[in-house]
C-alpha cells in the first residue's frame, strides 16, 4: 500500500474531505502525520460555523475540536446531519477555491488511550442525563 504525500501533489489534487459512504459510527480525523482518530456521532452535542466559514467548532461532552480552514460549510452541514466523513488536515495556505482544512485544534486528550477513557466516561455520563 502506498500513500500520497500532500507535499508531492499540486494544491488542486489534495483532498481534505471524503464524504462518508459506509456505516462507520463517526467522523475520522486524519492529521498531517497520518494519525487517525474516530469520534462517535452520538457524542456530538453542537456544531458551530463562523460567518466566514473558516472555523468549525465541534462540541463534545469531553471538550471541543476546532477545525480551521476555508469554505468549511460542507463539513458543518454533514456534521449537523450526523454524517461527517473523513476530514484530513492538509496544512498550509488554502487553495483559491474549494474546501480546505488547515489544521485541527484539539480541546481534549488526543492520545488514543486517554481519548478512549474520556469518551467512555462521557458516554456513561451522557447516558445518565437522557
Rounded mean pLDDT for each run of 10 residues along the chain, 130 residues in total = 49 83 81 84 92 95 92 95 91 85 84 59 58
Strands 46-49 and 55-60 come out as: antiparallel
Return the H-helix or E-strand segment holding 117: helix 112-129
Q: What is the pLDDT of residue 128?
A: 55
Q: What is the pLDDT of residue 8?
A: 64
Would you tell me how many other CB atoms lie within 10 Å of the CB of residue 49?
18
Question: In this structure, what C-alpha cell is assigned to residue 34?
Answer: 497520518
Would you tell me how many other CB atoms lie within 10 Å of the CB of residue 102?
17
- Taking the CA atoms of residue 90, residue 85, residue 47 and residue 39 in that order, the dihedral angle to the nearest 10 degrees is -90
Q: What is the pLDDT of residue 117?
A: 64
Q: Are the C-beta atoms of residues 5 and 85 closer than 8 Å to each other?
A: no
Q: What is the pLDDT of residue 48?
A: 97
Burial of 53 (0-12, 13-18, 19+ CB in 10 A): middle
Amino acid at each position: 500500500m502506498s500513500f500520497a504525500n500532500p507535499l508531492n501533489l499540486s494544491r488542486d489534487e489534495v483532498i481534505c474531505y471524503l464524504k462518508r459512504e459506509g456505516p462507520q459510527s463517526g467522523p475520522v480525523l486524519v492529521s498531517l502525520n497520518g494519525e487517525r482518530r474516530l469520534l462517535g456521532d452520538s457524542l456530538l452535542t453542537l456544531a458551530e460555523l463562523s460567518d466566514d466559514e473558516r472555523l468549525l467548532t465541534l462540541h463534545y461532552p469531553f471538550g471541543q475540536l476546532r477545525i480551521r480552514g476555508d469554505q468549511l460549510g460542507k463539513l458543518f452541514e454533514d456534521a449537523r446531519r450526523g454524517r461527517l466523513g473523513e476530514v484530513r488536515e492538509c496544512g498550509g495556505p488554502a487553495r483559491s477555491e474549494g474546501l480546505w482544512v488547515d489544521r485541527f485544534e484539539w480541546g481534549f486528550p488526543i492520545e488514543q488511550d486517554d481519548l478512549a477513557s474520556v469518551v467512555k466516561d462521557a458516554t456513561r455520563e451522557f447516558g445518565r442525563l437522557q
